[in-house]
Structure 1
Amino acid sequence: MRLLIVDDSALMRRQLAKCFESEPDIEVALARDGEDALLKMREFQPDAITLDINMPKMDGLTCLAHIMEERPCPVIMVSSLTEKGAMATFEALELGAVDFIAKPDGTVSLSIDLVFDELRAKVRGVVNPSRRRTERPRVAPRASVRERVTERLASSRPAAARPSRRIVVQQSGDCDLVLIGSSTGGPGTLGAILEALPADFPAPILVAQHMPPRFTRTYSQRLQETCDIRIEEVDRPTPLEAGTVYIACGGMDVAVTHQLRRIVARPVDPDPDRIWHPSVAHMVQTATSVLDPKRLIGVMLTGMGDDGAREMAQIHVEGGRTIAESEETAVVFGMPQQLIEQGGASLVLPFNKVAAQLLRWVGTQTAERTAACR
């Protein structure tokens, strides 16, 4: 596979290239800014690109817009761990980037080697060998971006008996909680799903999206700009209410508990035995310990690895309902594929059909009203 690394710092280019020195099947080319990247892209025909955001002549966002218009391919942004870096990163994701890597300590990071394993995994994850050098479908950008950049620019086993500590929560319909897990490629996919849900969706939604600290607050704020349903970051113990999406705090895990007969989500220290955070497995496992799986809905979206697949499959086994994103739209098919292979998917759907299915499953007037408008 061919990888184009774009960064205005010669030191960073050398360091990022070093990350792939031990990968004999990855050929690397380097570009010093956005203008150079577009020239190299035409000559080198990369399968994937890592792209810095802050560069002279042509910045990363402008370069990304041209890439998405001229020759769409998987782009991973290399971002700084700051609020400004987070805002630019999510603008990049809205423009068509599939994921990002956060530099540990600033624009020129002397400890970039700390994320080498993650970077190699993400580069390999976003390039499907069967789809190389093709313009495969990407997550649709939001309407405001579509106008600027062409279409981008301009049956389960009987349920086991559950402990009596579980509670029954009086939500409308027959669902107490929707649990969504996602990783690589997830921010754009999740945004498209949530934008299709109404403000009065009759159950709470809890999301574990693999993301570093300080990014989930900005992500939640940007989602709220385009979603009718309410969006909130779980940065403290939070009672879960219908009509709200709760985004687990970046770099932490999230646990579902109950207090005074209410469902509560609270951030907890990340489990050192788990690789990715917020952990989908921890979220689902704690939810099924206090709620009846028959009244849970699990959704597994794009992402590497198998985080939460076993736990979400158990929801299906015990009578709950689950959705796995299909390979045709998943940026990385790993997590949904694991759910499917474990026999844990009630349905396999492209991401753009997930919202409609959730509305059918909640079985309320909201769903009927929304369906009538489609």
Structure 2
Amino acid sequence: MIRLLIVDDSPLMRRLLSTVFAAEGDFELAFARNGTEALGQLAAFRPDVITLDIQMPEMDGLTCLNHIMLEHPCPVVMVSSLTTEGADATLEAMSLGAVDFITKPKRAVSLEIETLAPVLVAKVRAASRARLPRTLRLADRVRLRSGLDVKPSPALQKPLRPVQTARRSRKVDAPVRNLILVGTSTGGPPALDALLTRLPPDFPWPLVVAQHMPGSFTGPLARRLDKLCALSVVEVTRPMPLEAGTVYIGKGDADVIVSMRLDGPVVMAAPSLPEHRWHPSVDRLVDSAMQHFSPGGLIGVLMTGMGSDGAQTMTRLREQGGRTIAEAEESAVVWGMPGELVRRGGAEVVTPLEQIADHLLDMVRRS
């Protein structure tokens, strides 16, 4: 049985979620109306996974999450609104240690629960098997157990202050001939933090990222990463020329593809295709890039995420002479996508998250 603690101040939401998970037959459920009640149940119920609403009275979701990760680390799936404020709060939650999130429907949740239920169950099941990094908030946990004061998490201090980094000036040279393709899903935002903040401002290749995420979230994600990284990070909302040292985040609820124009390659958003389950689709991104770039000029990076998106096309990329990197199981929150790439024999390099940037730099230098 999977022990699930549902934390939400809405009686309707608690009732609907109870119906969804009780119907699965392998969930043991407990409920809390706010963060204070949730913290009171951690030691007794010992949940395998928690769904946690962000907006709640008495103690909001972010404050509760901060306590959970310090006192009883446990996989948490945030429940968020589709607003910009909801997206910013969710990204803060991911930086605090949440492994995934679900979004509330725009219409009444009771009208859309049947559509939401399969995705919700899949995310919670994946989260129950997720690996929380052993070093997650380790210093704070040691201080807490030693009776020392714990500094507030940076994610709870507003506004997010940008890291001051020197960025090189941009100029349009010859069209780029090399490209890095990054795919990720569950656990992806913190993984992107770890990867991109390790790349220097003079990194010579562009990077295109397909992160499974709703359309209202990818803009805030790009802005957050742009503040943290030495590279420029932008959301792809229109056709954009590919430039060295720029990271392009595919817009959610659509696909991101590479195309060619007279003056060189561009990256652009494209309506999602039904044959791909998750969007932006990693498989579609890689396939489009292979139509316009030599395989030897492409590097595919597949990081944490449930499912298998990207594994098929990155395996084909390697077979045709491209290079590929899969995140190792030891660091992946969910080793679905990169694990499938490894099982198919499509991973040239299998490495922990913190070493992916070094491998990229080495591959680029040798090109």
Confirm or deny a common fold (TM above 0.5).
yes
Q: 2:253–2:279: 8 Å Cα contact kept in structure 1? A: yes
Q: Distance in 2 between matches of 1:22 and 1:93?
A: 29
Counting only pairs closer than 5 Å after superposition, residues 60-99 of structure 1 correspond to structure 2 as 60-99=61-100
Percent of matched pairs sharing the same residue = 51
Q: 1:7–1:13: 8 Å Cα contact kept in structure 2? A: yes
**Partner of 2:209: helix, strand, or coil?**
strand
Distance 1:81 1:244, change over 3 A: same
Q: 2:70–2:137: 8 Å Cα contact kept in structure 1? A: no
Aligned residue number for residue 5 of structure 1? 6
Q: 2:298–2:323: 8 Å Cα contact kept in structure 1? A: yes
Q: Distance in 1 between matches of 2:334 and 2:7?
A: 22
Q: Distance in 2 between matches of 1:137 and 1:113?
A: 36
Q: Distance in 2 between matches of 1:94 and 1:106?
A: 28
Q: Could you state the TM-score of these two structures normalised by the residue count of structure 2?
A: 0.87
Aligned residue number for residue 165 of structure 2? none
Q: Distance in 2 between matches of 1:140 and 1:110?
A: 39
Aligned residue number for residue 216 of structure 1? 218
Aligned residue number for residue 49 of structure 1? 50
Aligned residue number for residue 39 of structure 1? 40
Q: Deviations over 1:125-177 (max 9, x none)?
A: 12229x7xxx6537779x9xx984579999xxxxxxxxxxxxxx754xxx700
Aligned residue number for residue 161 of structure 1? none
Aligned residue number for residue 288 of structure 2? 286
Counting only pairs closer than 5 Å after superposition, residues 1-374 of structure 1 correspond to structure 2 as 1-105=2-106, 110-128=111-129, 136-137=133-134, 148=151, 171=176, 176-363=178-365
Q: Distance in 2 between matches of 1:139 and 1:340?
A: 26
Distance 1:281 1:238, change over 3 A: same
Q: Could you state the TM-score of these two structures normalised by the residue count of structure 1?
A: 0.86
Q: Distance in 2 between matches of 1:139 and 1:247?
A: 26
Report the residue type matching 2:356 in the other structure. V
Q: Distance in 1 between matches of 2:4 and 2:128?
A: 10
**Partner of 2:233: helix, strand, or coil?**
strand
Q: Distance in 2 between matches of 1:140 and 1:300?
A: 25
Distance 1:301 1:310, change over 3 A: same
Aligned length: 341
Distance 1:112 1:225, change over 3 A: farther
Structure 2: where are the runs of 5+ without partners? 144-149, 158-173
**Partner of 1:19: helix, strand, or coil?**
helix
Q: Distance in 2 between matches of 1:113 and 1:219?
A: 28
Distance 1:136 1:7, change over 3 A: same
Q: 2:181–2:208: 8 Å Cα contact kept in structure 1? A: yes
Report the residue type matching 2:251 in the other structure. C
Q: Distance in 2 between matches of 1:139 and 1:301?
A: 18
Q: CA deviation at 1:17?
A: 1.4
**Partner of 2:63: helix, strand, or coil?**
helix
Distance 1:120 1:357, change over 3 A: same
Distance 1:31 1:127, change over 3 A: same
Aligned residue number for residue 166 of structure 2? none
Q: CA deviation at 1:27?
A: 0.9
Q: Deviations over 1:207-251 (max 9, x none)?
A: 000001111001111111111111000000011101100000011
Root-mean-square deviation (CA), in Å? 2.5
Distance 1:260 1:182, change over 3 A: same
Q: CA deviation at 1:21?
A: 1.5
Q: Distance in 1 between matches of 2:257 and 2:135?
A: 32
Q: Deviations over 1:263-284 (max 9, x none)?
A: 1111010001211000001000
Q: 1:50–1:76: 8 Å Cα contact kept in structure 2? A: yes
Q: Distance in 1 between matches of 2:334 and 2:156?
A: 23
Q: 1:138–1:331: 8 Å Cα contact kept in structure 2? A: no
Aligned residue number for residue 160 of structure 2? none
Q: 2:83–2:216: 8 Å Cα contact kept in structure 1? A: yes
Aligned residue number for residue 163 of structure 2? none
Q: 1:297–1:322: 8 Å Cα contact kept in structure 2? A: yes
Q: Distance in 2 between matches of 1:119 and 1:278?
A: 19
